[in-house]
Structure 1
């Protein structure tokens, strides 16, 4: 039961709430304001701002889908804003605080409950058809019985590795169902074979999500319990961080300066793409992005397990309509089309995971490329007994985005011991516990 939050700082949260409250933020209030009608005629020109993050593959697919929508609806055009993940939430939060958020916004599952609860989003139903979407995926976009955001895809959390590099070094490739014991044994085996400047994996000692997978596999549940309590299992945490401390001292994982230089999907800065690490964490839908950077070089494998599975399935991301949009009718029509239209699904493919519309997912599997099938294989291997994802309790964003990364960096730079790291996390958690 994992609470998934991206490691980004949420800026201006208090200002955001205050500004939206002053503006009447909720959909009900907006509808009664003079001159704030969301209705448009079929012939009236409408330009919708839409914002998302992703790699180049996702950008190209999304832009093609927008072109198709405009072709079918000539009165609707788009003003797209897209980027990588870094800085995305900061920019979106700043825009929302100024009541200037795009009409349509892509949200991480971990952010969605807070945005919905604060009435920063418009209710999507009844305009949104959810009949072909798994209710378990819809839940993360709901608040107070209303659907404020719709999931765009289903993905699996696992690992990706450099096939050719492992073969060249004479290291056996991992296979689905491998264990954390296998992971650390493989790391130790790699020590004598790694050339200078190359490492087994990133330093995941203080990585929130990597450790979540380890604790999951031990049967110890989530880092933060569903009732909002600190739930890091001390024995598991010390075992995890101590093992990575050993790998760090032996030069099997990168030193802190190299580890912190990593920039996912960047052709020069991504540590795996640049050949500095053999293995890293990955979602199933990200395989195509890495494959486009180095064709045929990589393979996916399930998250290592222990007494239970370490990996999980989750909604990849959500799409929502801003509560400040003055074009909500057209925005909601587009969101419904984006999620449910078969032609849109053919263009978008698995850029955001396997489509949540069951009919579209079935149709897409029949025509999937070999690249897409690699991601699907990880998803299918994970869903057999993978952990269940949940957005978890609210109010812990800063703990995950600020307090945990602080400990991560201190561990990487050998500034604190595993025992001190645990105590620091436990102490910081007291400010968030309900």
Structure 2
């Protein structure tokens, strides 16, 4: 269950003002933890050198360094930071963990948490009590993904929820409004066709999301299933065909762009997207990137849910896409845990990080921060999903089994082939299942 006591309702969300949340003072500073792996001590030494490895932009680097300065003032010692681009990070981390040279604290993409947990590369965290590592203010359902094989080995750096970014300005110019959260698939399809007609063909009514494995995951969950079950595909060929058919019909009516255009604009960054270039009014994605999109357009952007059969069959969930863990071979594991606790629970740290890793995981501190306009919209959206639409989600090891990266690649290749007319839905579906079952065997 999601422990979020307040937040916007479905009806009020899209009409909310963008005033920042007022600041209040909370006493939630982290306490720390320690002892080498396997020892009885869980008390931090303090005044020790620590290192953290992470991925992201120069802005993230600056924010993390500021947080580490605050930590050092309270706990002594130093915290060094190694930050790489997203593309370079995974390979570098794998090399460092294999060689025993990884940092004390590790930022992790969601799809590699289980990989390192099963190799015992991540320190168990539940041995540190509430006075050491305070988890009481986290969304417990969202945080549960970091429990692998019965052991908590990772914690969320920020909560996220899949959605649709909409161009409010473009829709207003057509006399239309952003679809309300909870919109059904039938209404979405009708709406997309209306956009195409009202714009005189100037706009497509929606992007073609058929190649998006994250969107397909929500769709599968709407049908009462998961992407994977017991390390195998958890959905049927009929589920996949139904997904492809929705987007094929939208392409056929002209409400979605032709496949060739979708493929051409799938690379080159957000600036090359059909949303930013003004050809479609939406973009299906995890909307923690809303501020990045907003920086590329003068039009006002908004966020709503993915279409769904009903609120009780939303398929949505709240889950971190960015995680943090402690290296099992750290020389100062308890102090590393203290740093993690500080990042999650210290008021000053939360004010610095804001929505850098998505919605702050500490639900109390989340409401004290003064966000920028786009981040405020994003955080309100996450709270809305948690309050009205979120359903339990499997732990990360079940959601990302061995072979899942190759399955995702096969999905994208297959869907692009179908969208561009290189293969039929039936042939593409059969081919995908053959490939996927081989990767997961």
Report the TM range for the smaller structure's normalisation: 0.7 to 0.9
Provide the rounded CA distance (Å) in 2 between the counterparts of 1:39 and 1:301. Answer: 45
- State the shift of 1:232 in Å: 2.3
Residue in structure 1 matched with residue 263 of structure 2 by the alignment: 259
CA–CA distance in structure 2, aligned partners of residues 105 and 288 of structure 1:
25
Correspondence for 1:229: 232
Cα distance change, pair 131–215 in 1 and its aligned pair in 2 (3 A): closer
Alpha-carbon contact 2:211-2:416 (below 8 Å) kept: yes
Which residue in 1 is equivalent to 2:81? 79
Deviations 1:228-256 (A, max 9, x none): 33232433432321232243355532543
Whole-angstrom CA distance in 2 between matches of 1:28 and 1:407: 50
1:106 partnered with 2:145: no
Match of 2:389 among 385, 392, 408: 385
Contact 2:263 2:416 in 1 (8 A): no
Number of residue pairs matched by the alignment? 395
Q: Do 2:316 and 2:385's aligned partners in 1 also have CA atoms closer than 8 Å?
A: yes
Q: Does 1:301 align with 2:304?
A: yes
1:215 positional shift: 2.8
- RMSD, aligned CA: 3.5
1:398 aligns to 2:405 (yes or no): yes
Aligned to 2:284: 281
1:416 counterpart = 2:423: yes
Q: In the aligned structure 2, how far is the partner of 1:223 from the partner of 1:358?
A: 29
What does 1:320-339 align with in structure 2 at a 5 Å threshold?
A: 320-339=325-344
Decide whether the 8 Å contact of 2:237 with 2:430 is kept in 1: no
Q: Please give the TM-score of this superposition, normalised by the length of structure 2.
A: 0.77
Cα distance between partner residues in 2 of 1:78 and 1:189: 54
Does structure 1 residue 220 correspond to structure 2 residue 221? no
Paired residue secondary structure (2:63): helix
* Deviation at residue 372 of structure 1 after TM alignment: 3.6
Q: Could you say what secondary structure the match of 1:320 adopts?
A: strand
The answer for unaligned runs of 5 or more in structure 2 is 1-33
What residue in structure 2 maps to residue 427 of structure 1? 434
Distance of 1:40 and 1:29 partners within structure 2: 10
> Is 2:218–2:315's contact at 8 Å kept on the other side of the alignment?
yes
Q: Which residue of 2 aligns with 1:12?
A: none
Query: How do 1:81-100 and structure 2 match up within 5 A?
Result: 81-83=83-85, 85-100=86-101
Shift of 1:295: 5.9
Q: CA deviation at 1:257?
A: 5.5
Provide closer, same or farther for how the CA distance between residues 61 and 294 of structure 1 changes in structure 2, counting only shifts above 3 A. Answer: farther
Post-superposition Cα deviations, 1:156-206, rounded to whole Å, max 9, x if no partner, equal: 221111111223345443122211112222222233455888544432223
Change (3 A) 1:163 1:113: same
> Structure 1 residues 67 and 275 mapped into 2: Cα distance closer, same or farther (>3 Å)?
farther
Alignment match, 1:241: 244
**Are the counterparts in 2 of residues 310 and 387 from structure 1 also a CA contact under 8 Å?**
yes
1:281 alignment partner, SS class: strand
The structure 1 residue matched to 2:55, chosen from 36, 52, 65, is: 52
Structure 1 residues 103 and 59, CA, compared in 2 at 3 Å: closer, same or farther? same
Contact 2:258 2:419 survives alignment (8 Å): no
- Please give the alpha-carbon distance, in whole angstroms, between the structure 2 residues aligned to 1:221 and 1:415: 29
Q: Structure 1 433/263 Cα, relative in aligned 2: closer, same or farther at 3 Å?
A: closer
Distance 1:121 1:370, change over 3 A: same
**Which structure 1 residue ranges, 5 or more long, are not aligned?**
1-26, 33-37
CA distance in 1, matches of 2:72, 2:392: 38
SS at 1:190 equivalent: helix
The 1-side partners of 2:237 and 2:55 are apart by 38
